[in-house]
Each structure stands twice: as structure tokens, then as C-alpha cells.
Amino acid sequence: MTDLTNQTEQARNWFEALRTRICNEFEAIEREAGSDAAFDFAEWHREEEGNPDPGGGMRGLMKGRVFEKVGVNVSTVRGAFAPEFAGTINGASADSPGFTATGISLVAHMANPHVPAVHMNTRFLVTGKAWFGGGADLNPPLPYAEDTEDFHARFRAACAAHNPTYYERFRKWADEYFYIPHRGVHRGVGGIFYDHLECPDDAAFARNFAFTKDVGEAFLDIYPKLVRRRMGSAFSDADKLQQLEWRGRYAEFNLVYDRGTLFGLKTGGNIDAILMSLPPEAVWT
């Protein structure tokens, strides 16, 4: 018999360990740039009437010389969806709105416009079904073909180790998802996005968990390399303006279309953690 509580704890432990490793690596990059910036961690607790154990999470935020603003959040929450929202979630319904969700979410906005911003998240949800989802996408204000190819190549390799169809499926899904319809543009140069990797038994859980872990490892491997490649590049006022205008597009997507933002707001998440994805500065011209 599948032990969903144990599976949730396995996923939670992995997400928290990945958070620590990512934060350590990002702080190491700040040291290389001569900065003593470090993550500030704030614990938060979810509240839900009639729920004695609604869970919560930890928001990590750093503002440094290289990372103008980077947030790395982990959370594990339990409760019930509002009936009108439950019908939009895989495995949930108005008659069965209960859920458990654990995950990691990361967004980095960079000081140097030549360094690509990035988003990454992975998660495990239990409703009437249990499944993994997540992905990562690169968001450069000033795209470099080399960076785009290296980012995609790393995730292509991660996907290929598990299923030969994953990369093309999940790359296409990212292109479709990270799109701003009212602007008619993609918000970046893509990556992978996946959802509803269902775990009806222990074997499926082990298989999908292994893939999700490799997504995290791929991110931790490739993104710091891209940061180090570009963080010393000289930039102009025009470059900075292009970055700020692009950040406006990023904010529009996250506030209007992003599922994670909606999920957090609909489940009583921490507002600061939910909106940590917004850039520290942006312009609309």
C-alpha cells in the first residue's frame, strides 16, 4: 500500500536539501564578486480555520552585488481548496478538496543585464491523486545563443536519462506556458515545464521522484556556470533599460498568468513568499 505521508516527507526533505545547496552556491558566487551578501531566512506558518496542522514554509531572500534579488522558497502545506478552485486542480473536486503540497520555488533577478534571470520550481502534490510537476526556464534580457544552448542541453540530458520523449514534450510545454498572450511574446528563451507526473504506486513515485531530483541537479549544475560566465560583463545604460523593460514583461506574466502565484494566493500562502518572484525594479515605457 502506498504511504503518501512517507512520500511527502521524502520529497520535502529533498526540496529542503536542494534549497540549502542552491543558497550556498549563490552565496559563493557573491563572495567571488567581493560581496558578503547572504540569504535572510524567514519562517512562515499557514492558517486555515478548523485545520490544526496547515503547515507553512521558509522564505529565503538575498540581495547582493551579483544577485540583485533572489528568492528561494520551500513550503509544505495541507488543507482544503475552496470548492470553486478545487475543480481546477488535478485529482481534486468540490466533493474532495483536500490536498497536501510540498515544493521548492526559485526566482533570480540579476544586477548585470548580461546575466540571465531564471526561474525554477519542483513540487509534489497529493489530492485524490499524487503527482510531481516543475521545471526551469531562462529569462535573459540580453539573450546569448551560447547560454540558451547550454541551458537547454543540460535539461535535455536530464530528460534523456529518464524518457526519450521528455525533453521535446516538456520543452514545448514550457514554450506554450511561458508566453504572454497580450504581448504576443515569450517571457524568455524557454526550458522545460512538466506537470501531473502521476504516482499511482510506489514504482511510479520512485521513477518520477528520480526525474524531479535530476531536474534540480541540472539547474544547480548549469545556472551558476552561466552566472559566472556573464557577471563581469560591462554594460551600458541602454542595456540596463532593456533589462528593466523586460522585467516589466516578467511581472505581467507572473501577476496575470502564473499558476504558482494563483495557487499560493488561493491556498493562504505567505504573500511575501508568493510575490518574491517580482523584480526589485522595472519600467513600463
DSSP three-state, residue 63 = coil
Q: Tell me which residue of 55, 84, 122 sits closest to 269, measured CA to CA.
A: 55
The DSSP H or E segment spanning 263 is helix 259-266
The pLDDT, as a whole number, for residue 263 is 84
Q: What is the pLDDT of residues 86-119, one digit of tens each?
A: 778 888 777 778 899 999 999 999 999 999 999 9
Tell me the C-alpha distance between 194 and 147, whole Å. Answer: 22
Contacts of residue 158, defined as CB under 8 A and 6 or more positions apart, other chains included, come to 211, 214, 215, 217, 218
Domain that holds residue 54: 4-277
Whether 229 is in a domain gets the answer: yes
Domain count, the chain: 1
Does any domain span residue 284? no
- The H or E element that residue 135 is part of is strand 130-139
pLDDT digits (tens, 9 = 90+) for 33-85: 999 999 999 999 988 888 888 899 999 999 999 999 999 999 999 988 888 78
121-135, 175-189, 190-204, 251-265: least confident range: 251-265
- Whether the CB-CB separation of 183 and 252 falls below 8 Å is answered with yes
> Is the pLDDT assigned to residue 270 strictly greater than 90?
no
What average pLDDT score do residues 211-239 get?
98
What is the model's pLDDT at position 68?
98
**Which pLDDT value is given to residue 89?**
85
* pLDDT at 97 (0 to 100): 80
Residues with catalytic annotation?
119
Range 221-225 average pLDDT: 98
> Quick check: helix, strand or coil at residue 249?
helix
Does position 29 have pLDDT exceeding 70, yes or no? yes
Residues of the chain above pLDDT 90, percent: 82
Which residue from 87, 163, 93, 98 is spatially nearest to 125, judged by alpha carbons? 98
Q: Is 285 a domain residue?
A: no
Is 283 domain-assigned? no
282 in a domain, yes or no? Answer: no
Task: Extract the runs of DSSP E, i.e. beta strands, from 49-113.
Answer: 55-62, 67-80, 98-110
- Cα–Cα distance, 19 to 278 (Å, whole number): 19
* CB 132 within 8 Å of CB 124: yes
> Cell triple for residue 203?
514504482
Question: Percent of the chain, pLDDT > 70?
Answer: 99
Distance CA 256, CA 17 (A): 31
pLDDT at 147 over 80: yes
What mean pLDDT do residues 215-226 have? Answer: 98
pLDDT at 220 over 80: yes
The residue written with cell numbers 481534486 in the block is 92
Q: Return the CATH number at 257.
A: 3.40.1500.10
**Cα–Cα distance between 109 and 71 in angstroms, integer?**
9
